[in-house]
A and B are shown apart, each in its own frame.
Chain A
Amino acid sequence: MIYARRAWIVLWKDLLSERRSKETLNALFFFALLLLFLFQFALGADRERLVAALPGLLWLGFILSGLVGLGRAFLAERENDCWEGLLLAPGDKSAIYLGKVAGNLLLMLLVAAILLVLFAVFFNLDLGAHLLPLAPVIGLGTIGFAAVGTLFGAMTAHVRARELLFPVLLLPVQVPVLLGAVKATEAVLLGEPLAAVGHWLGLLAAADVIYLTAGILTFDAVLEA
């Protein structure tokens, strides 16, 4: 109970500071918009090609926005010298990790929602028909991404070449999540039932459990001064 409350406090702090500054979300919104322009210019106006590439593009958008967003996960603590504050927090440090993961998860889901709406408008993606089966795919994929991203974000917060190292560490580790999410999204957009990609959803769920467990167990070691 107290554990959940501590995680909640970390989440609440991040949400509050984001609500008052809005800097991350605003920046990510424009970033997502620019990505769409990039995709459009790269692929040209060929409808067929766009439709075929859509699942991949969608997740490329999530991942790239996630790299920008998650890399900032512990920036506030580092820049405002609040790292000691996290260290001095009583009790199990993994509560801090879970709070941070929850915050990053919400941020990523918001970005996913923005991207989906933009895709619907610009690339004529029929959201209404696909939203329900897409929800578990996006949810499972984003949890895994946020779980590892938060852990690595805490690690690279102290490294000189943070902006370089974070994606270099995160992207290869996230290959299973990316493949599973893209394949499942592909099937959903083709109108197949979720049962057809049950094995992919299972893999995503397994990945989420493994990543979260690893994060909970090792976060203490990352946080030490």
Chain B
Amino acid sequence: MSLQRGLGWLAVAGLAAGIVMALGVAPREATQGNVQRIMYVHVPAILVAYLAFAVVLVASVIYLWRRVDGADRLAHASAEVGVVFTGINIATGSIWGKPTWGTWWTWDARLTSVCIMFVIYLGYLLLRAMIEDRERAARFAAVLGIVAALDIPLVHFSVSWWRTLHQPSTLLRPGRAPMDPTFVVALTINLVAFALLYAYFLARRARLLKREQEVLA
């Protein structure tokens, strides 16, 4: 209980530090101007979403193997938070894209594959919502959670061969990141803050699911 609360306050502190860094300390980007500051939300959101879907995969495997309800609740909660963070990533990307590329949306590789991932996990939540029997919902969702995660790399490669416009990843590049160290610090602090927020949401949502099951049992 108090552990979760502590995690929540940690996330709040992290987000506050992240906002100060992103809006105050980090310099204005030379070519894009202030609109670049949205990256401090945009990039951490998708990285944490990937983490969330990886957790769904691991929890799904554990559920099918061991049939522990806790793993199922963890997968369910993680998928929900992952979908929310993916949504935040797509929305902030659109807001950034309008002044920068002149369009809200374009069928570029990275955008398309994130969008497909978003739809796949929306389907995952839909499948869960549509099955009344809890045990059956858990089994089917676990199967889908595994297939979906295995599909993500396939989607990524197929879509990027299909077309590309998005700038290459700035952080996950071999060698030194080609930017002012302050940018990196601001981005890292926001990434940690988002990860804390994810952990907090995950813990709260999983506990809520547990309470729901106890009431219905």
Q: Which residues of A approach B to under 8 Å, CB–CB? A: 148, 151-152, 155, 158-161, 165, 168-169, 172-173, 175-176, 179-180, 183, 199-200, 203, 206-207, 210-211, 214, 218, 221-222, 224
Q: A158-B131, A160-B130, A168-B126 are in contact. Are A221 and B161 (CB under 8 A)?
A: no
B182 within 8 A of A: no
Q: Are A158 and B159 in contact (CB under 8 A)?
A: no
CA distance A53 to B45 in the complex (A): 37
B94-135 interface with A by 8 A CB criterion: 116, 119-120, 123, 126-127, 130-131
Return the chain A residue nearest B157 by Cβ. A203
Q: Are A179 and B162 in contact (CB under 8 A)?
A: yes
Please indicate the chain A residues that have their CB under 8 angstroms from the CB of B162 in the complex: 179, 183
Q: Are B127 and A169 in contact (CB under 8 A)?
A: yes
Q: Are A179 and B147 in contact (CB under 8 A)?
A: no
Q: Are A155 and B158 in contact (CB under 8 A)?
A: no
Return the chain A residue nearest B151 by Cβ. A173
CA distance A31 to B150 in the complex (A): 32
Q: Are A176 and B155 in contact (CB under 8 A)?
A: yes
Q: Are A176 and B158 in contact (CB under 8 A)?
A: yes
B154 within 8 A of A: yes
Return the chain A residue nearest B124 by Cβ. A169
A-B complex: 9 closest residue pairs judged by Cβ atoms? A176-B158, A176-B154, A172-B119, A218-B143, A179-B158, A172-B120, A169-B123, A155-B140, A221-B139
Please indicate the chain A residues that have their CB under 8 angstroms from the CB of B143 in the complex: 151, 155, 218, 221-222
Q: Are B139 and A173 in contact (CB under 8 A)?
A: no
A-B contact list, 7 entries, CB within 8 Å:
A155-B143, A165-B126, A183-B162, A199-B161, A203-B154, A221-B143, A222-B140
Please indicate the chain A residues that have their CB under 8 angstroms from the CB of B52 in the complex: none
Return the chain A residue nearest B65 by Cβ. A221
Tell me how far the C-beta of B169 lies from the nearest C-beta in chain A, rounded to whole angstroms.
20
How many A-B contacts at CB < 8 Å in the complex? 78
B144 within 8 A of A: yes
Q: Are B126 and A218 in contact (CB under 8 A)?
A: no
Tell me how far the C-beta of A211 lies from the nearest C-beta in chain B, rounded to whole angstroms.
7
User: A175 touches which one: B123, B126, B136, B158 (CB < 8 A)?
Assistant: B158
Please indicate the chain B residues that have their CB under 8 angstroms from the CB of A207 in the complex: 154
CA distance A208 to B155 in the complex (A): 13
Q: Are A161 and B130 in contact (CB under 8 A)?
A: yes
Tell me how far the C-beta of A74 lies from the nearest C-beta in chain B, rounded to whole angstroms.
13
User: B130 touches which one: A165, A200, A203 (CB < 8 A)?
Assistant: A165
Please indicate the chain B residues that have their CB under 8 angstroms from the CB of A155 in the complex: 127, 140, 143-144
Q: Are A159 and B155 in contact (CB under 8 A)?
A: no
User: A211 touches which one: B120, B142, B147 (CB < 8 A)?
Assistant: B147
Please indicate the chain A residues that have their CB under 8 angstroms from the CB of B148 in the complex: 173
CA distance A214 to B126 in the complex (A): 21
Please indicate the chain B residues that have their CB under 8 angstroms from the CB of A159 in the complex: 127, 130-131
Beyond A158-B131, A176-B154, A203-B158: 6 further Cβ-contacts under 8 Å? A159-B127, A159-B131, A169-B144, A179-B161, A214-B150, A218-B143
